[in-house]
Amino acid sequence: MVIDCVDRAKPALLTLIGERILTNVDTLAVKDFLLKLQESIVARLAAIDPDVTIVTDKWDRDSGGSGISRVMSGGRVFEKGGVNFSHVFGKAMPASATAERPELAGRAFQAMGVSLVIHPLNPMVPTSHANFRLFVAEKEGEESVWWFGGGYDLTPYYGFEEDCVHWHRTAERACAPFGANYYPDLKKRCDDYFFLKHRGEARGIGGLFFDDFNELGFERSFAFVQSLANSYLEAYVPIVEKRKDTEYTPEQREFQEYRRGRYVEFNLVFDRGTLFGLQSGVGRIESILMSLPPTVRWVYDWKPAPGSREEKLYTDFLPHRDWLKLATA
């Protein structure tokens, strides 16, 4: 059933930054930006793939939360994808949200964000993921604590050097107005985060990842998040348009499905957003698991043929690289 969203966002909160500096957190402005971001991304992707089916599901949870799920399927370019907005509330922060900040355990919270995963049909087009969120932890009689988190990353199945450089160059340009240190720092965090420890390999070629981000104060931190979020389409769309009509074989499609298995493993074992949604009790299961690909395969002890393009993914693209050669610049 489709119903209107229920808006329970608080317009402003007194927030502690560092130790003593207080500022206003404009949650309504963040929510407005996120909803417009969702709409702009869906519209742009739909323009690339007019045949894709898009289901809009507005939902509300009595336990504390509402959102809008925009789910794509059956397209000629995008086999499955989703661009979801959620604004959820809870009485106590789940373990996944306090693992790095145990002092916040037991606080009530509200979180809002846009999260998206796009699984293309053509194995020459990489899967992309992005999310941008605001988290506020509250406790009666104490200052509220807020932070932004998110980023974006790319998961190719067949590597193209120029695509990887374009992806990272766009990310670097989005970070540049806020300081030269942000791109290399957030790239390293992305490399470290999107790593399957049990496999000893990266999920993809990385991008940007940040969490617990409030160091620039609210207004500047929000501007930083907007810059990164607005650069996602600039980073991804040219790659899609360049590769979507590339011919591929049934064997290459099978390899795509095999590598999608790594995507599933990461999302169900390591992904903080997935774990938060499942542990918080206020997330919507269908929306949380929207990120999983429609078809996937696991093959026992599979190894790529020596010298093949599949092997090149493992040897040339998945190992962490300085794509922009900043270390030698």
Residues annotated as catalytic (active site), given as ranges: 129
Identify any residues that bridge with 21 across adjacent strands, giving them in sequence order: 17
**Which candidate, 158, 100, 122, 104, places its Cα nearest to that of 49?**
122
The answer to whether 204 touches 155, Cβ cutoff 8 Å, is yes
Which one-letter DSSP state was computed for residue 94? -
**Residue 184's Cα: distance from chain center in Å?**
18
Which amino acid belongs to residue 273?
A: G
Q: How many CA atoms lie within 13 A of 222 on its CB side?
A: 18
What is the spatial order of strands in the sheet that 78-90 belongs to?
Answer: 53-61, 65-73, 78-90, 108-120, 127-138, 145-155, 206-213
Angle subtended at Cα 196 by Cα 255 and Cα 95, rounded to the nearest 5 degrees? 130
Which residue reads 């604590």 in tokens?
145
**Which candidate, 163, 68, 50, 178, places its Cα nearest to that of 115?**
68
Residues 6+ apart with CB under 8 A from 62: none
Cα–Cα distance between 152 and 168 in angstroms, integer?
A: 10
